[in-house]
């Protein structure tokens, strides 16, 4: 039985001109995850990432956490798989702005205050459902079936190449929610809710054999359990 750890990237730059960039907190979140795994003796035979900047930055921060040492001893290196990750574009996030524009062509309030953020996520939920049921086709994006194929092809490749071994995937909320929804055969509204609940640097775990994947855990933060790190828990 293999084990697949799906990690959502650390906090990015929500509300900024370039979202695809980890914040300083996002870096710390991922370094903490790497340290946690080092302490637990976790290793990985392979690492898969999307091609977005925040995916690679998150993977690199996790690797630094693996290598960090809190004592005078020499730091242990990160697993070798971090040096040569498999870049899988099917693990890239959908374009939220294109999704919203497809159902709301007018101007939108920048997401800089609580009410604007709530409005953003209300529209995103509606836009996701419209894309998933085929009633909208956002510009520059694949049909929903194509997006799902990109996610499932990564799962299939991992199952075919790494049977019985531990594998890490660093991706985004959308692909991870679709992967979990696929495994659970969940309806589209449930996949959207899974997506919108995922926290930054959260870990979801799948077990897999030659035939299928099974869900073990979802949206956990084992590396941020200390009360002193409560402020490190973020969603956007």
Q: What is the pLDDT of residues 98-107, one digit of tens each?
A: 999 999 887 7
Which residues on adjacent β-strands are paired with residue 3?
Answer: 166, 207
Domain boundary assignment for the chain: 8-94+141-232
Inter-axis angle of helices 188-197 and 173-184, nearest 10? 140
pLDDT in tens, 197-209: 999 999 999 999 9
Architecture of the structural domain at 8-94+141-232: 3-Layer(aba) Sandwich (3.40)
Sequence length of the chain is 236
* pLDDT at residue 116 tops 80: no
Mean pLDDT across the chain: 92
Token pair 């609940």 is found at 197
pLDDT in tens, 58-111: 999 999 999 876 555 666 788 999 999 999 999 999 999 999 999 988 776 666
Percent of the chain scored above 90 by pLDDT?
82
Inter-axis angle of helices 173-184 and 144-161, nearest 10? 70
CB-count burial class (<10 Å; 0-12, 13-18, 19+) for 177:
buried
Helices and strands (H and E) in the chain: how many: 7, 6
CA distance 221 to 236: 15
């Amino acid at each position: 039985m293999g084990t697949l750890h799906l990690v959502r990237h650390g906090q990015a730059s929500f509300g900024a001109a370039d979202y695809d960039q980890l914040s300083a907190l996002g870096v710390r979140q991922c370094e903490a995850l790497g340290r946690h795994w080092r302490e637990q003796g976790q290793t990985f035979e392979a690492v898969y990432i999307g091609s977005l900047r925040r995916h690679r930055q998150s993977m690199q921060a996790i690797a630094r956490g693996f290598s960090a040492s809190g004592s005078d001893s020499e730091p242990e290196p990160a697993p070798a798989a971090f040096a040569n990750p498999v870049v899988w574009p099917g693990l890239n996030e959908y374009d939220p702005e294109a999704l919203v524009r497809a159902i709301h062509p007018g101007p939108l309030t920048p997401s800089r205050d609580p009410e604007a953020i709530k409005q953003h996520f209300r529209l995103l939920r509606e836009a996701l459902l419209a894309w998933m049921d085929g009633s909208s086709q956002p510009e520059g994006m694949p049909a929903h079936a194509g997006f799902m194929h990109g996610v499932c092809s990564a799962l299939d490749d991992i199952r075919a190449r790494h049977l019985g071994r531990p594998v890490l995937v660093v991706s985004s909320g959308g692909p991870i929610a679709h992967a979990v929804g696929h495994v659970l055969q969940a309806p589209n509204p449930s996949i959207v809710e899974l997506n919108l609940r995922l926290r930054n640097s959260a870990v979801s775990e799948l077990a897999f054999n030659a035939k299928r994947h099974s869900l073990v855990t979802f949206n956990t933060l084992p590396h941020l359990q200390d009360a002193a790190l409560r402020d490190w828990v973020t969603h956007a």
